[in-house]
C-alpha cells in the first residue's frame, strides 16, 4: 500500500485531489506524426486495393461459405459497423494531419515573407550604394579626361619650350650680331 501511495503522490508540496482520474500523457508531436502517417497511407492506391480485397473477401466468405461458417449474414451489419468505425477514426486523423500541414504551410509562408523583406531591404541598400557610387564617380576624373588634360599640358609644355628656344636663339643672335 505504501508503494501505491508513493506512486499517486508525485510531489509532497501539493495536495492530492481525491477521486481524480489521471489519464495517460502522450506526446502531441508523436501523435501528430502518427496520424499523418495513417492519413498519408489512407490516401494511397495501396490502401484502396487492400480495402477492396478485404471487403470482397468478406462478401465472398459471408455469401459463399456454408451457412454455419458465416459470421456476418447478408445485410453485413458487422462490416457496416467496422467501416463506420474506421470512418469515424479516419476523419479526425485526416483533419489533424491537414491542420498540421496548414501549420507547416503557415510557418513556411511567414519564413518566406521574412526572407522577402530581408531581400528587399538588401536590394534597397545596394541600390542606394550604387547610386552613391555613381554620384561619387561623377566627381572623379575619368581616364579619358586625364589623358586629354595630360596631352594638353604636354602640348603647352612643348609650345613653352619651343618659345623659350626661339627667345634664346633670338637673344643669342642679338648678342652675336
Domain ranges of the chain: 27-140, 152-177
**What is the per-residue DSSP string for 40-109?**
HHHTSHHHHHHHHHHHHHHHHHHHHS-GGG-SS-TT-HHHHHHHHHHHHHHHHHHHHHHHHHHHHHHHHH
Within 10 angstroms of residue 82's Cβ, the number of other Cβ atoms is 15
In the prediction, which pLDDT does 7 show?
A: 52
Task: Dump pLDDT digits (tens) for 138-167.
Answer: 777 778 888 899 999 999 999 999 999 999
The more confidently predicted of residues 102 and 5 is: 102
Mean pLDDT of the chain: 88
The more confidently predicted of residues 25 and 177 is: 25
Residue 28 has, within 13 A of its CA and on its CB side, a CA count of 3
Task: Dump pLDDT digits (tens) for 21-72.
Answer: 777 888 888 888 988 999 899 989 999 999 999 999 999 999 999 999 999 9
- Written as nine digits, the cell of 4 is 501505491
| Percentage of the chain modeled with pLDDT above 70 | 93
Contact between residue 16 and residue 8 where contact means Cβ atoms under 8 Å apart: yes
Q: Enter the DSSP assignment of 70.
A: -
pLDDT band at 76 (very low <50, low <70, confident <90, very high): very high
Ramachandran angles phi, psi of 32, nearest 5°: -65, -40
In the prediction, which pLDDT does 74 show?
A: 87
Q: Cα–Cα distance between 24 and 177 in angstroms, integer?
A: 130
In the prediction, which pLDDT does 177 show?
A: 73
| Exposure class string for 86-109: b at 16+ Cβ within 10 A, else e | eeeeeeebbebbeebeeeeeeeee
Amino acid at each position: 500500500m505504501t508503494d501505491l501511495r508513493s506512486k499517486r503522490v508525485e510531489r509532497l508540496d501539493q495536495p492530492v485531489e481525491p477521486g481524480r482520474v489521471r489519464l495517460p500523457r502522450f506526446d502531441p508531436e508523436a501523435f501528430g506524426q502518427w496520424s499523418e502517417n495513417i492519413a498519408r497511407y489512407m490516401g494511397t492506391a495501396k490502401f484502396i486495393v487492400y480495402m477492396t480485397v478485404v471487403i470482397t473477401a468478406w462478401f465472398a466468405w459471408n455469401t459463399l461459405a456454408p451457412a454455419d461458417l458465416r459470421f456476418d449474414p447478408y445485410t453485413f451489419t458487422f462490416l457496416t459497423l467496422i467501416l463506420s468505425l474506421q470512418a469515424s477514426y479516419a476523419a479526425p486523423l485526416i483533419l489533424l494531419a491537414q491542420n498540421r500541414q496548414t501549420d507547416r504551410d503557415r510557418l513556411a509562408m511567414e519564413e518566406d515573407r521574412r526572407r522577402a523583406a530581408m531581400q528587399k531591404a538588401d536590394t534597397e541598400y545596394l541600390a542606394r550604394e550604387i547610386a552613391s557610387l555613381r554620384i561619387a564617380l561623377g566627381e572623379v576624373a575619368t581616364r579619358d579626361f586625364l589623358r586629354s588634360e595630360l596631352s594638353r599640358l604636354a602640348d603647352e609644355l612643348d609650345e613653352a619650350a619651343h618659345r623659350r628656344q626661339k627667345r634664346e636663339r633670338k637673344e643669342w643672335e642679338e648678342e652675336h650680331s
